[in-house]
Amino acid sequence: MLTKTLHTKLIILIDPDKYNLDLIDLANVCKVSYIFVGGSSIKKNNFEKTIKSIKSKTQIPVIIFPGDETQISKFADGLLILSLLSGRNPDYLIGKHVHAAQRIKASNLKTIPTGYILVNGGKASTTQKITKTKALSSSKEIINTAIAGELLGKQLIYLEAGSGAKKVVTSALIKQVKKNISIPLIIGGGIDSVTKAKNIIATNPDYMVVGNVLEKTPHLILELSKLF
């Protein structure tokens, strides 16, 4: 699950508050490898209901991308254990994980330790506001943080420009991070066009996550799928 790949694979991210059944139907006829489910601030109290609905409509593996420690469901196929390595807020490095530990263990979910790194996307993301952390701008610091994540035993590195970011993670940075780590690399944030997706795929990260734009224009997934 979420291993190194020869070619970039597509992941879609679904916020339960903005869940669109039609997007799952479209994903079933597209080259979608995984569906991530989660949100920084879920208000509708429909997290588990959303996962059950998705699972009833597709065989694509559903992985929880948790916005907080309450977003756990035994009905998913796996759970990213996110450590916000770009920030220094202890709650998001270990504190939230301690609160959720017993529930996660009881769920028997497959867990994937993930080094989560917020990259400056030209706009303060919801994640930054909630975690009270800043995104990183220095390429050197981002690369070193990714290396440190692997040394700490993380199984994935996730570079995130933020939902609705004005700027995506640059090609140069993706290449440098990929060169310096041996674990899978995920890129997300601000990927709202075929052109941006194509530029990222050209750098060959293991996975690319698209979310926000599909809430407004779900049929864009048909065009994106042609790139894979």
Q: What does the pLDDT look like over 66-124, one tens digit per residue?
A: 999 999 999 999 999 999 999 999 999 999 999 999 999 999 999 999 999 999 988 88
Q: pLDDT tens digits, residue range 195-227?
A: 999 999 999 999 999 999 999 999 999 999 999
Instruction: Evaluate the CA torsion angle 194, 196, 198, 200 in order and state its sign.
Output: negative
Confidence (pLDDT) at 164: 78
pLDDT-derived band of residue 43, with 50, 70 and 90 as boundaries? Answer: confident
Which pLDDT value is given to residue 130?
86
Q: How confident is the model at residue 122, as a pLDDT? A: 86
Residue 12: strand pairing partners? 35, 210
Taking 80 as the threshold, does the pLDDT of residue 41 lie above it? no
Res. 4: pLDDT tops 90: yes
CA atoms within 13 A on the CB side of 39: 18
Residue type, 102: Q
Topology, domain 9-225: TIM Barrel (3.20.20)
